[in-house]
Amino acid sequence: DGGITQSPKYLFRKEGQNVTLSCEQNLNHDAMYWYRQDPGQGLRLIYYSQIVNDFQKGDIAEGYSVSREKKESFPLTVTSAQKNPTAFYLCASRSAGSYDGYTFGSGTRLTVV
Amino acid sequence: ELKVEQNPLFLSMQEGKNYTIYCNYSTTSDRLYWYRQDPGKSLESLFVLLSNGAVKQEGRLMASLDTKARLSTLHITAAVHDLSATYFCAAYSGGSNYKLTFGKGTLLTVNP
C-alpha cells in the first residue's frame, strides 16, 4: 500500500543535540511538507519542498533544517538552535496538480529530556 | 497573510444531538479542507471543498463552503461517540506551492 512513513514514532533529545526525523513516501508525490503541532496551536508549517534539491522555509523554520535529495525522502533535522523542540511533528505530501490536499504521515513525537 | 479561525475550540455534545463547527478565513480562498485527528494519531482527510456553494456529506458529517462569506461549516447530525476527535479546517492560500493554513482545531467530545 502507498503511504507516508515517519520514523521514529517517539524520539527523545538531550539539550544541545541535533536529531533527525525521517519521512519517506511511496506515493510518487512531488511536494512534501513538515508541520509542527503543539497542543491548542493547530499545525504550523516548518519547511516544504516542491521538487528534488529545492525547498522553502515555512512560517517557523528557525532552528530546523531539511534536505530533499530524493523524491521519496524529506528528512527534518531539529538543531540545537531550536529552543523549544518538544512537539508532535507531521510530514505530508501531495501530488502536483491535484486538489486533494495533503496525505499525512503518522507523526513523530519529540521530547526534550 | 491568510488566517484561519475555528470555533468553538472545544465542544462537548450528547449523543443524538446536532451541532455545527465554523471555520472562517481572512483572505480569498476557493479551496477548503476538513481533517479529523484522533489522539496521538495522524490527520485523516474528510472533505475537499473546491468551489463556492460546495456541499459534501459522509455519514453524520456534512461540510459546506461559502467563499463570499469566507466561511465553511462542518455540521454533525445525531452525534455518536465514535465522532469524538479533533477536527481541523485548512484553507489554501494561493500560489504554486499549495500551502495550507490550518485552524487551531475543534476538540469534539460526544458523551453517551
With a cut of 50, list the residues of chain A below it in pLDDT. Answer: none
CA–CA distance, B78 with A72 (Å, rounded to integer): 42
For residue range B25-75, list pLDDT tens digits in order. Answer: 998 887 899 999 999 899 999 999 998 889 999 999 999 999 999 999 999
Q: Do A48 and B42 touch (CB under 8 A)?
A: no
Q: Is A36 on the interface with B (CB under 8 A)?
A: no
Dig out the grid coordinates for A58 from the structure. Answer: 515555512
Chain B residues whose CB is inside 8 A of the A105 CB are 42
Residue linked to cell 496521538: B40
CA–CA distance, B24 with B39 (Å, rounded to integer): 24
CA–CA distance, B59 with B80 (Å, rounded to integer): 11
Cα A80 from chain centre? 17
Chain A residues whose CB is inside 8 A of the B102 CB are 35, 42-44
Quick count: other Cβ atoms within 10 Å of Cβ B37?
21
CA–CA distance, A47 with A61 (Å, rounded to integer): 6
The pLDDT of residue A1: 64
Q: Do A101 and B45 touch (CB under 8 A)?
A: yes
DSSP state of B32: E
Backbone angles phi, psi at A90, to 5 degrees: -120, 130
CA–CA distance, A35 with A46 (Å, rounded to integer): 5
Q: Quick one: average pLDDT of B20-27?
A: 95
Q: Do A107 and B97 touch (CB under 8 A)?
A: no
For residue range B71-91, list pLDDT tens digits in order. Answer: 999 999 999 999 999 999 999
Instruction: Tell which residue, B89, B9, B22, has the closest CA to residue B49.
Output: B89
Residue A92 is which amino acid? Answer: A
Q: Do B42 and A31 touch (CB under 8 A)?
A: no
Nearest-CA residue of chain B relative to A100? B48
